[in-house]
A and B are shown apart, each in its own frame.
Chain A
Amino acid sequence: MSNMTEWLLSDSPTSKGQAFAGRTWRMWLSLLGNPLAITGLIIVVVLVLMAAFAPLIAPYSPIGQDLENRLLPPSWQHWMGTDELGRDIFSRVVYGSRLTLMIVLLVAAISAPIGLVIGAISGYFGGWVDKVMMGITDIFLSMPKLIMALAFVAALGPGIENAIIAIAITAWPAYARIARAETLTFRNAEFIDAIKLQGASPARIIINHVLPLCTSSMIVRVTLDMAGIILTAAGLGFLGLGAQPPLPEWGAMISRGRAFILDQWWVATMPGFAIIVVSLGFCFLGDGLRDILDPKNEGKS
């Protein structure tokens, strides 16, 4: 074991693999030292496990109706009570984690690469390419996100896929900005010059040498944005523009519970707690990752 840690923490790694493993290990160690980040990590891991094993965790079916047991308050049989169709809210929340995870991952998978590529190209080439691309990015960046997503969904039609597309359209500009800023910091670095002198094409340089260096700050930013993505998706669901019934999407569930808020409070509030916990988890984790990965903070605290 001590050999292992020694190998990992070695000051002079002998291979690329060892350097990478050592870096990951050091990050893991500093993550362990940050209680909030660990809380966030645990929440996110629980979310993923919940989504993966939803059929095993959920005691009831998320869409099975039981009209005799409608609007029951929380009890041992139904931890979060039942809704107006007698469906167990806890089971629906568990299955809803699948939708939330899917939305978050798809939005990140669509918008982060787009932003990354646009930002890297813009920063690498500079000149009028940069001016035009950043001009467009700035225009998108200065739009109100939620309103834009609403308008896009209005045109595309309600539905979870369209909600994902709409959120992704509004999310990429921030990533483009970050990727550009990162690219600018090492555009004139010696190693880029060296590759250039070897005759590498711009596409090769950007894909093999610029993009990998942008990813760490991108991961931080995406994690921090996850909370916002979840809230926007839930908002669209609440307005009836996101996931459609009977899908157990958390925002849509809150919207159904709106009619009973004064008497059967649990129908609307329970899915809300799930949203808060998950968003907080991503916030904590993102904050922690930023502290670890941001070189500006190194040596502080």
Chain B
Amino acid sequence: MFVVLRYSSSASLSQAHSINKVIYYQNNFCIDKKCLILDFLLCKFRKIPKSLGGISVSQTDTVDISAQSWTNNIWLKRFMTIAQFFFVLFLTFLGLLAITFFIGRVIPIDPVLAIVGDRATQELYDATREAMGLDQPLVIQFFTYVLDVFRGDLGNSASTGRLVIEDLKRVFPATLEMATIGIIIGVVLGVPMGVLSAANEGKWVDQIFRVLGLVGYSVPAFWLGLVGLALFYGHLGWVAGPGRIGIFYEGIVEPVTGLILVDSLLQGEWEIFYDAIHHLVLPAAILGFFSLAYIARMTRSFMLDQLSQEFVTTARVKGVPEYKVIWKHAFLPIRVPLITVIGLSYAGLLEGSVMIETVFSWPGIGNYLTVALLNADMNAVLGATLVIGAVFIFINKISDVLYRVLDPRSR
């Protein structure tokens, strides 16, 4: 295994055939002849296509080849995949922490001054500096920071006066609720739109959906929110205004899950449930529009890919009805990549909700972040960044690994 992995960085195994290349490799990559011969044999026995010669093979490809040949044990392979997944996840989280640490501690010229103000006495200044641990070397500071975060200590918020972690726990469900409804709207509308587009490629349905999708890439979310408010709340009065719930209903429902739709249903408060839906529908629909644009576009391109395959032609020739060709033969295989796309856009919605929440005064994490930004409340800003970033990364990586687990070709 070692040999192959070592080789994998330098591509094109079958180039070893030509003696010129051997010398060449020796000079440039310092690979010894034994290795080359071994790889040459591997090439022969594992039936690696010779066409690989001359074209560089990306690393994963080569490792895959070696993994097939060396570890045929499927359980070991799965274990390796999972171990690798957690390792990458861990490294990425550490990277996120490094970035927030950098933003919080390194960029500000003097974090102490930001807290005590420039009129503080020297003693107070020194004491604060020591309390913040700023007299320690940066590495130690970072280590302490990471430990604090893992203990759930994100510091105190300067504007609300509470622990940042408590604040975040309070506001996060509101964002989750909006993003979830948003993604449901996006999937329910986006997937059929993409399929329809692909089935009628080049026709007016396709053109309209494509332009709609492109608009989704070029409209500022906050602007669409404002226009939506002016139109559906101001002029038509179809939906409720900004906020999560009418002021009369504030505080009646006991927060159990924090999701107001679920809580009000659990406690049988139908009026509150309707009111909450009235408030939720517009921001969620706008958020959903952005995921819809992406989902429809990806569905379309996946479907086009499938519809050009030979088995689709075969099915058509056999006389399978067109709706069956589309929904059964072409659509079923794209479910797996679609899951990844949906996961990615769900993560994107959590991010997109920052703007929408600001426009709709939605008491979620995005609004919390922007309020903290305007108050220069760094602890809250970094805490919110960390939580959004962590959730974003987690969903991204999960949907990535889910793709590999669900796709039968990768087994």
Contacts and interface: CB of A to CB of B under 8 A. Distances in A.
B295 to A, nearest CB: 17
B2 to A, nearest CB: 15
Contacts of A272: 219-220, 223, 226-227
A189 B12 CA distance: 11
Contacts of B393: 142-143
Contact of A139 (B92, B100, B382): B92
A279 B222 contact: no
Interface stretch (B159-167, B250-258, B366-374): B366-374
Give the one of A153, A156, A238, A268 with max B CB within 10 A.
A238
A101 B223 CA distance: 20
B369 A150 contact: yes
Nearest to B104: A155
B220 A193 contact: no
Contact of A150 (B107, B223, B385): B385
Interface residues of B, number: 59
B41 interface: no
A143 B386 CA distance: 10
A153 B373 CA distance: 9
Interface in A217-236: 227-228, 231, 234-235
A73 B218 CA distance: 26
A262 B237 CA distance: 12
B92 A254 contact: no
A276 B219 CA distance: 5
Interface stretch (A19-27, A53-61, A111-119, A180-188): A180-188
A86 interface: no
A151 B91 contact: no
A123 to B, nearest CB: 9
Contacts of A257: 226
A147 B354 contact: yes
A235 B226 CA distance: 13
Interface residues of A, number: 55
Contacts of A258: 226, 359
B218 A148 contact: no
A143 B355 contact: no
B401 interface: no
Given A143-B99, A148-B99, A262 B107 contact: no
Interface in A180-214: 184-185, 187-189, 193, 196
A235 B222 contact: yes
Give the one of B10, B91, B218 with max A CB within 10 A.
B218
B354 A154 contact: no
A62 interface: no
Interface string B116-133: 000000000000000000
Interface string A236-248: 0011110000000
A229 to B, nearest CB: 12
A263 to B, nearest CB: 8
Interface in A135-150: 135-136, 138-140, 142-148, 150
A155 B369 contact: no
A144 B388 contact: yes
Nearest to A123: B56
B229 A188 contact: no
A239 B233 CA distance: 22
B346 interface: no
Interface of A: 126-127, 130, 135-136, 138-140, 142-148, 150-156, 184-185, 187-189, 193, 196, 227-228, 231, 234-235, 238-241, 251, 254, 257-258, 261-262, 265, 268-269, 272, 275-276, 279-280, 282-284
Interface of B: 9-12, 24, 28, 54-56, 58, 91-92, 95-96, 99-100, 103-104, 107-108, 214-215, 217-223, 226-227, 229-230, 233-234, 347-348, 350-352, 354-355, 358-359, 369-370, 373-374, 376, 378, 381-382, 385, 388-389, 392-393, 396-397
Interchain residue pairs A-B with the least CB separation, the first 3: A139-B95, A279-B218, A272-B223
21 contacts: A126-B9, A143-B96, A143-B392, A144-B388, A144-B389, A147-B389, A148-B389, A150-B381, A151-B385, A155-B104, A193-B24, A235-B221, A239-B358, A251-B222, A258-B359, A261-B234, A268-B226, A268-B227, A275-B223, A280-B218, A284-B214
Given A239-B370, A265-B227, 12 more contacts: A130-B9, A138-B92, A139-B95, A147-B351, A147-B354, A155-B107, A235-B222, A235-B355, A272-B220, A275-B219, A276-B215, A276-B219
